């Protein structure tokens, strides 16, 4: 058995890694879907999401410690299946070893990052090329490519959630786990976007390029994904609760003991109920300062959510462990900010030659 501290570190590392990666993946999906449906309203804010998505390639490097542990050791600190066929594993896990094995795990991981990273770089670099040339044909090309790219994105995200997160408890399974991670990622992305736009406007950089209409639409999407996240979370719980099969309910049993039950209650209150009610009003959605506050709360809840998904298999909730998780969070977020600001500092935060930019600036939601 691996040392408890070693187990906790790798679980915390993965949870904080997914906290940051999830909203970058949400940004990539937003870029693709707004090109696909030709959402002209999003033209003035799409560059920010392109910058967020562009960091995905660098997140691949931060996954190397986990990949190295899986490939070069038999440590079960994070994944019990890493011990191989000779280890003392339940039969249900042994039957999954043709899929859950180090070599195949590494290949799939490389494929996931290749799909996301290449797509993000293509869309960012093509957008920057349009800044220089003003070629409107670029927008049409990006629209044509968006459909196939979304399908590849969805498959990669779904299987990455299975491989990296769900397999930390290899005996358990859920077919909608990837959808849950997708919902959490999109929700956190809109929260990050609201905060970024608010900060940039306070600094005077995009004061007239992002209007209250954009805030209202981003807030509506955020509100919608609050509901969608809660719907997926409750649907999964309800199905397993009334099925009452031990191999399915064991995942929830761990999360209803050792202090994790209180984290679950915090998620119900602060990931769903409070922001759902608090951001329902149109007047609130059109107040960028208030919405930035709600977005901050959602990001805190999103961090708790990632912890709730991954950490219970490692250790109970204790004050010292919470402090350690916070330190890991500070480190991971600092890396994200450095990567984002490094690219944003040398890139215009609005795609000035986007043919749909005039429509975006004139956009009106209506009463």
- Residue 1, pLDDT > 70, answer no
| Ramachandran sector of residue 39 (left: φ over 0; alpha: ψ -120 to 50; beta: rest) | beta
- Residues 299 and 62: their CA atoms lie apart, in Å, by 21
Instruction: Specify whether 71 is located in the same domain as 122.
Output: yes
Query: What is the pLDDT at residue 323?
Result: 85
Shared domain for 32 and 162, answered yes or no, is: yes
Is a pLDDT exceeding 80 seen at residue 164? Answer: yes
Cα atoms in the 13 Å half-sphere on the side-chain side of 155: 9
* DSSP, residue by residue, 7-51: HHHHHHHHHHHHHHHHHHHHHHHHHHHHHHTT-GGGTTTHHHHHH
3-state secondary structure labels for all residues of 62-84: HCHHHHHHHHHCCCCCCCHHHHC
Cβ–Cβ < 8 Å for 76, 83:
yes
Q: Is the pLDDT of residue 116 over 60?
A: yes
Predicted confidence (pLDDT) at residue 321 exceeds the cutoff of 80: no
Rounded to whole angstroms, the Cα distance separating 91 from 84 reads: 12
Between 279-288, 297-306, 343-352, the lowest mean confidence (pLDDT) is in 343-352
Instruction: Assess if residue 141 is contained within a domain.
Output: yes
What pLDDT shows up at residue 350? 93
The pLDDT, as a whole number, for residue 207 is 81
72-115: pLDDT as tens digits: 999 999 999 998 776 688 899 999 999 999 999 999 999 999 99
Could you give the number of structural domains in the chain? 2
298 Cβ contact partners less than 8 Å away, ≥ 6 residues apart: 187, 188, 191, 222, 226, 271, 275
The CB density around residue 219, as the number of other CB atoms within 10 Å, is 26
On the question of pLDDT at 331 being above 80, the answer is yes
Residue range of the domain that includes 253: 172-317
What is the dihedral angle through the alpha carbons of 160, 27, 180, 322, rounded to the nearest 10 degrees? Answer: 90
Q: What is the pLDDT of residue 86?
A: 67
Measured in whole angstroms, how far is the alpha carbon of residue 215 from the centre of its chain? 21
Residue 115 in domain: yes
Does residue 289 share a domain with residue 230?
Answer: yes
Residues 71 and 147 in one domain: yes
- Kindly report the number of other CB atoms within 10 A of residue 311's CB atom: 24
Kindly state whether residues 162 and 225 are assigned to the same domain.
no
Same-domain check for residues 132 and 73: yes
Residue-wise pLDDT for 227-273, tens only, equals: 999 999 999 999 999 999 998 999 999 999 988 999 999 999 999 99
pLDDT level of residue 2 (50, 70, 90 thresholds): low
- Of the candidates 321, 358, 279, the residue with the CA atom closest to the CA atom of residue 15: 321
Residue 159 lies in a domain: yes
In terms of domains, do 180 and 309 share one? Answer: yes
């Amino acid at each position: 058995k691996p040392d408890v501290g070693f187990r906790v570190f790798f679980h915390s590392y993965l949870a904080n890694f997914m906290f940051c990666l999830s909203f970058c993946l949400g940004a990539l999906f937003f870029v693709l879907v707004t090109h696909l449906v030709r959402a002209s309203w999003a033209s003035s804010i799409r560059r920010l999401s392109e910058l967020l998505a562009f960091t995905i390639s660098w997140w691949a490097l931060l996954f190397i410690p986990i990949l190295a542990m899986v490939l070069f050791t038999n440590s079960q600190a994070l994944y019990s299946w890493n011990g191989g066929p000779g280890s003392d594993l339940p039969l249900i896990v042994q039957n999954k070893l043709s899929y859950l094995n180090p070599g195949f795990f590494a290949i799939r991981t490389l494929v996931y990052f290749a799909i996301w990273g290449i797509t993000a770089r293509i869309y960012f670099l093509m957008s920057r090329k349009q800044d220089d040339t003003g070629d409107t044909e670029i927008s049409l090309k990006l629209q044509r490519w968006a459909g196939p790219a979304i399908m590849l994105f969805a498959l990669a995200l779904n299987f990455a959630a299975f491989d990296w997160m769900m397999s930390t408890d290899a005996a358990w399974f859920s077919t909608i786990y990837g959808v849950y991670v997708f919902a959490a990622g999109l929700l956190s992305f809109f929260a990050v976007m609201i905060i970024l736009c608010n900060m940039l406007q306070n600094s005077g950089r995009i004061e007239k390029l992002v209007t209250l209409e954009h805030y209202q639409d981003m807030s509506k999407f955020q509100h919608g994904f609050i509901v969608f996240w809660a719907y997926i979370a409750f649907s999964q719980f309800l199905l397993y609760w009334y099925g009452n099969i031990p191999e399915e309910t064991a995942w929830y049993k761990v999360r209803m003991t050792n202090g994790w039950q209180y984290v679950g209650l915090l998620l119900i209150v602060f990931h769903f109920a409070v922001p759902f009610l608090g951001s329902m009003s149109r007047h609130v959605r059109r107040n960028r300062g208030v919405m930035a506050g709600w977005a901050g709360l959602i990001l805190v809840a999103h961090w708790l959510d990632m912890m709730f998904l991954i950490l219970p298999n490692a250790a109970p909730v204790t004050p010292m462990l919470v402090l350690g998780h916070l330190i890991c969070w500070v480190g991971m977020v600092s890396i994200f900010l450095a990567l984002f600001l490094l690219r944003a500092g040398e890139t215009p935060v609005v795609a000035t030659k986007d043919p749909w930019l005039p429509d975006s600036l004139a956009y009106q939601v209506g009463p």
